[in-house]
Amino acid sequence: MSDTGFLGRLGARLTQTLENSDAEELEKASRSSGADSVCSCSCGQSATIIGRIRCVTYGLGEDELGVTAEVYDGTASVDVVWLGRRSIPGIEVGRCLQVSGRVAFKDNRRVLFNPRYELREDVSGPAREGR
């Protein structure tokens, strides 16, 4: 065995352990706050989800004006879409967020369109209301 192979496997194992630990922490904090878990949300259900923003994308053209954030709660991800917005202050990768709205499905992914949202200091911390 080469050292590179061993070190590569060790690094992958540590990364996987950290991701699993983060997922468990997110799920536990989300549930203790009374939020719905993304994995249990069905189409048409009104849901409140608390999680961490994994990525943010911005529509570039006139036809695609909007902001989309992928929010992960430790069980699964939901795409949160604000139509007609060029940017939203505070919506950034790594930020904790509480969103409330009706769940839809688009391309086999859960989506919330124009939800009510609150920025949070942490998943279990206090919230600041957004529009």
Pick the CATH number of 3-129 from 3.40.50.720, 2.40.50.40, 2.40.50.140, 3.20.20.150: 2.40.50.140
Domains of the chain, by residue range, sit at 3-129
Q: What is the DSSP letter of 28?
A: H
List the chain pLDDT tens, one digit each, 131 residues. Answer: 445 687 777 666 656 554 565 777 777 777 777 899 999 999 999 999 999 999 999 987 666 779 999 999 999 999 999 998 888 999 999 999 999 999 999 999 999 999 999 999 876 555 555 55
Check residue 99 and give its pLDDT. 96
Q: Could you tell me the pTM of the whole model?
A: 0.75
Beta strands in the chain (DSSP E): 46-58, 66-72, 77-83, 96-106, 109-113, 116-120, 127-129
